[in-house]
Structure 1
């Protein structure tokens, strides 16, 4: 079994310790949010009557509320959030806003090959709409259409990039640029880079917490009511009324229709309890780079970056020239539990810091200002699934698997279409019409997930070669390679 570049070129422990010393356990994006975008909204008390109630104040729920008001300006829309708007994944992600609705082309074409041309077109249209939202609604969430760089950091990955470029060319896909070693290092100067693909059209970067806060602000300006600190305890659909009752500790909403946008948290529908598992992701943020430090790495085009390993890293620049560096470890805890204590894992931050200085040794001496973590909702198809329940009164979407920043807007459109029984290109998609396989109950879930993670790590240490478990999962449509 071989080693990876991150083991062959490890920085000294003292470099890592110095960089992490004093880092705050806090989400940079929320610390960076202007006070004017953090209003203290009321709890739900008493009874509200609405046309649509949305459970969840993250991207999925907020896009749904805003787009519902666009479709029906006179409708009364209520959002009920357990804590604060954008406090979970929507406020702490990396800010990569991708066109892909299928967690990448390879994952999509392996599952829905006939639909991929349509899925890719719908994904690009969705990304265009998000970019246009800043002007359309008067928002500022720092959107940059930078594209994304995929560097090869091991020799076997270079061939993958050649195949990628050839396949994109055969489809007539524009904006997929192969960079050899000299070209990729001229773009971003890491001694680990052997080649790269720059996808120029299909990714943007944004400020995650600002997007959530701005969606909430614009929705409220259009009459949406948002209640915070109001965890929903029950969902009732009494047959005699044709309504949906969303019940919290302090109140309830009686609505004609409901949308469940609860992401990684346990679903209010029993049918969806086994459809997702929470996997914990870890992130670091540096202090702002000096002009000299910035010049030492180049990165003039500010692309988002994600490498090609199974256990991959993602990283990007902020507007004040910090570097966010996350990924690699993806930790599952027995029992599908989502707990704040799981967000503290010093060994993951030390590993990330070590990999950061392997990637950019010229930045030795840079310190990290923030370190944080959070749960991602993963489905067995590695992208969102959709559906309705309770006689078409309730719609849901979940399972975004780390690529929900862009696709949550698409999910909002799908759920509204489903509630309105619209037949269109979105609702006719097999990805929308069919549910993926559920995860097994414990202990099988923990055994299977951890065995898969171990196998992916072995593949990264063995020139990408997949073992029998991974090949079997691939054959069953459960494989995962990024």
Structure 2
């Protein structure tokens, strides 16, 4: 029955003869999987050991070596650099903040949260600058971010959200409503409202990850791939902190955990961050005559205002890559592998794409994939370094990690070098939250929440009403 159901779900979707589901991501298919670097060769000793070669780990290593070249830095990864969300995401380099701002304000004050938001805006520029300075060709195009609404409830919500954000660090020039009748952006079907922010850029995620990996290696960082860390040990008396692998143990003055969505695979950390899955599809290159109707000449990143939101980009070779919520959480926090995506998720993403841009209904889908990201129980990212144990960490980006991971890397640099800076004073430094509920509670909770959001979207699209109360219920259940 499962095979028949899957076939029925996929039947309406035009698929390329080259269609692939999984295989890490389309970004690596375009680029080619990297040749793996050598694994750890046995016990070793470093000043700093970073566990995880995604954006967070690579940025941390980059800024440490740029600031203090004589530091001995190692980065360990179970697969290869950029295998996880860093090589699978939607390519949104944006200043979006993933969690409720009021929670940071309650502990540090509103001004601290506004400073955090402004720092994220500057981070977009920082990533663009580093890519240029280091010669990393990541298809970077700083066209900004466009958000659209396609029904009355979404329009009201978008206007309300922007008014709210302009009290929390966005000034009018940073994010504002635009007249969809006068706007020459993207010809979204049924558009009722639109907003624009200049603080965003499109990237090719795997190219950025590979470029960063090559750059840190050239700076003298030892990058070990195919090296699975099973345990991170704190300082105990005279015993230094350590990352324990099947191939040897790395001792260091500090060990940084940069495992994000894979944190639940580490011993003792199963409930710290919930592994949540996001999925994407990419089309074949869209014909030029369709682009004339669609527009999108600015190549800004594009998102909608639904509760089960989608995010999209026009790629450098004129495809459309669109993503959204997939299977939100797998029972038992099972880790993601090669990124195969369920047929019903592929179908949902395709329907979302065609709903926004009906002109591409006949353009074949060439690739589908999924990735895993980390969600803390209060939905707020954190950075910290415990000088007593020698352990540090960063993550919990809830899908907004392309820019946030860079800010985390620079913040960890300052913490590791013992500096007090404007970055180390930001409100996410040192934040601790309780863990997630045990299974099956968290699996049931995420399934119910996702179902409520989807039902809320259906109700809003079928009426001229306000935001569905079901969305509010979903927010209360999830704690967002």
TM-score (norm 1): 0.88
Q: Match for 1:435 among 432, 435, 448?
A: 432
Question: In the alignment, is residue 304 of structure 1 matched against residue 301 of structure 2?
Answer: yes
Answer yes or no: is 1:228 the counterpart of 2:228.
no
Change (3 A) 1:408 1:79: same
Q: 1:189 and 1:15, CA in 2 relative to 1: closer, same or farther beyond 3 A?
A: farther
Change (3 A) 1:383 1:23: farther
| Aligned ranges 1:75-474 → 2 under 5 Å | 75-100=71-96, 102-103=97-98, 107-109=100-102, 111-112=104-105, 113-166=110-163, 172-184=171-183, 186-200=184-198, 202-237=199-234, 239-266=236-263, 272-340=269-337, 343-389=340-386, 391-463=388-460, 465=467, 467=469, 470=472, 474=476
- The offset of 1:329, in angstroms, is 3.4
CA distance 1:46–1:470, shift in 2 (3 Å): same
User: 2:272, 2:450 → 1: CA distance?
Assistant: 19
Q: Confirm whether residue 64 of structure 1 aligns to residue 60 of structure 2.
A: yes
Report the 3-state secondary structure (helix = DSSP H, G, I; strand = E; otherwise coil) of the residue aligned with 1:149: strand
* Contact kept in structure 2, 1:245 and 1:254, CA below 8 Å: yes
Alignment RMSD, CA only? 2.6
- Corresponding residue for residue 31 of structure 1: 29
Could you tell me how far apart the structure 1 residues matched to 2:265 and 2:14 are? 45
SS of equivalent residue, structure 1 residue 430: coil
CA shift in 2, pair 1:168/1:238, >3 Å: closer
Aligned equivalents of 1:14, 1:454: Cα separation in 2? 21
Query: Can you list the C-alpha shifts for 1:15-61, whole angstroms capped at 9, x where unaligned?
Result: 833336651123111122268xx343101112222111111111111
Aligned counterparts of 1:181 and 1:319: Cα–Cα separation in 2? 25
SS across alignment from 1:239: coil
Greater shift in the superposed pair: 334-343 or 436-445? 334-343
Q: Offset at 1:359?
A: 1.9
CA shift, 1:315, in A, is 0.8
SS of the residue 1:386 aligns to: strand
Q: Secondary structure at the match of 1:150?
A: strand
The alignment partner of 2:326 has SS state of: strand
* Cα offset, 1:469, TM superposition: 8.5
- Over 3 Å counting, the alpha-carbon distance change for 1:187 and 1:360 in structure 2 is same
Please give the secondary structure, in 1, of the residue aligned with 2:263.
coil
1: distance between equivalents of 2:446 and 2:9?
31
Structure 2 residue aligned with 1:4: none
Partners of 1:459 and 1:290 in 2: CA distance: 35
If the length of structure 2 is used for normalisation, what is the TM-score?
0.88
Task: List runs of 5+ in structure 2 lacking aligned partners.
Answer: 1-7, 461-465
Inter-partner Cα distance in structure 1 for 2:251 and 2:144: 43
Question: Structure 1 CA distance, aligned partners of 2:154 and 2:470?
Answer: 21
Instruction: Find the aligned partners of 1:265 and 1:320 in 2 and give their Cα distance.
Output: 31
